Amino acid sequence: MKAYHNKRKGIGIIFDEIYLLNGARTPFGKFCGTLANVSPTDLGIFAGRAALEKANIKPEEIDQAIIANIGQSSCDAYFLPRHIGLYCGVPIEVPELMVQRICGSGFETIITAAEQITLGKAETALCVGAENMSLSPTVSYGNRMGYSLGRPSFHDMLWEALDDTAAGYPMGFTAENVAKKYSITRKDSDEFAKLSFDRAVAAWRDNLFRDEVIPLNSSVFEAHGLKPRKANLPRGIKNFAADEHVRPTDMETLAKLPTVFSDTGVLTAGNCSGIVDGGAAAVITTGQTAKRHAAIPLAKIVAGASCGVNPREMGLGPVPAIRLLLEMTGIKLDEVGLIEINEAFSAQVIGCERELNLDRNRLNVNGGAIAYGHPLAATGLRLSLTISHELKRRKLKYGIASACIGGGQGTAILYENIEL
């Protein structure tokens, strides 16, 4: 292990023999769609149980559970990490930890798990990210102290969460800033969005997610003699198995959509990430454990890095994070066969693409969050699973998965295909 910190460049760590053994995710349900009434805790349990099964790891073998969730959207949200661990069958004596780096939180579960293993505090860890954005509440802060006659105040937490008060405007405006900085046009943004949808449709058509996405049914979760949890899908829904936000589109349809953040801007509902619900999970372990199970890991976790950027250009966060990864490891960008950058906004990905001079044929090759959606805490895990599977399919050695982060940060992880 080699750790790194620099106030100008960021923080990072190179790992020694830490692996992403396997994982799984739920299908992502569209906003107020099939998963709208499934709590984030239950989405995490679905994903966590499936990850353990795919990794062929018994719950008793888990030494720590690292969990992420951003928007509290159920009455038992305080207990979310603990309940996910318990109902995945993880031993009662094993502790759970919640981590939060907003859009990078899924990555942070993996980095934290790898660090805990490196420190000797665990041998095998379960990482889970879960988000239900449809259930995001309307709140009345200060209601306990009362309010003026006829003047109760309520706020939509999902909408308010998009507003970065430090930057002085919603995150969408920060992506418009990136568009201006790199002269990114509406046509550029719509073309990128169409490519994302086209690639996602093709990936589903070609059954590329057969080892990644698990079908969901109404279920009752039981473990340790605790009160059973019921997770109900809408009546009549069985084997919910495909991302609901993915659909064919064309330039004409995209061009008709109004801009969202600025009358003279480039961003629309069609070229920004979809609001969706879902969960994702992975099992992280040592090389010795993998050998003991005679398992071939999905990928080796080589290194991780996180950096801060100007909140007014938060979408460029992946740029310094990726550059720091390359500097730390000595690997050149040309050696990286695939790159995933979370598609929070089309313009911000294009800005990263131009700043890093990326080959679009290696970038988000199966589409991204514009097509699949961006369930905040689950996204980093989804990107990690997707790139790990794709490295194996294409027989490529290195891949980087990254995301910009609200408030002005970026996180990236370097993965290695060990089968080469």
User: Active site includes 404?
Assistant: yes
Query: What are 2's strand-pairing partners?
Result: 14
Beta strands in 26-180 (DSSP E): 29-30, 64-68, 96-99, 124-132, 138-139, 155-156, 163-164, 169-170
What tokens were used for 276? Answer: 């969706």
| pLDDT (0 to 100) of residue 251 | 98
CA distance 117 to 146: 48
Q: Annotated catalytic residue: which of 127, 272, 352, 404?
A: 404
What tokens were used for 35? Answer: 């998963």
| pLDDT (0 to 100) of residue 263 | 87
| pLDDT (0 to 100) of residue 161 | 87
Q: Annotated catalytic residue: which of 103, 272, 307, 352?
A: 103
Low-confidence residues of the chain: pLDDT under 50: none
Closest of 273, 277, 209 to residue 241, by C-alpha? 209
CA distance 89 to 59: 5
CA distance 95 to 88: 13
| pLDDT (0 to 100) of residue 162 | 87
Q: Give the pLDDT confidence of 328-346 residue by residue, as tens digits.
A: 999 999 999 999 999 999 9
What tokens were used for 264? Answer: 């003279």
Q: Are 325 and 356 in contact (CB under 8 A)?
A: no
**End-to-end Cα separation, the chain, in angstroms:** 23
| pLDDT (0 to 100) of residue 63 | 98
Q: Are 296 and 391 in contact (CB under 8 A)?
A: no
| pLDDT (0 to 100) of residue 420 | 85
SS3 351: helix
Question: pTM of the predicted model, to two decimals?
Answer: 0.97
Closest of 249, 244, 269, 256 to residue 197, by C-alpha? 249
| Residue 93: burial class (beta carbons within 10 Å; 0-12, 13-18, 19+) | exposed
Q: Give the pLDDT confidence of 34-89 residue by residue, as tens digits.
A: 999 999 999 999 999 999 999 999 999 999 999 999 999 999 999 999 999 999 99
User: Active site includes 75?
Assistant: no
User: Which CATH superfamily includes the segment(s) 19-136+274-292?
Assistant: Thiolase/Chalcone synthase (3.40.47.10)
Closest of 13, 110, 22 to residue 64, by C-alpha? 110
Residue linked to tokens 């992946």: 318
Q: What is the DSSP code string of 212-259?
A: TB--B--EEE--TTPPPEEE-PPTT--SB-S-SS-----HHHHHHSPB
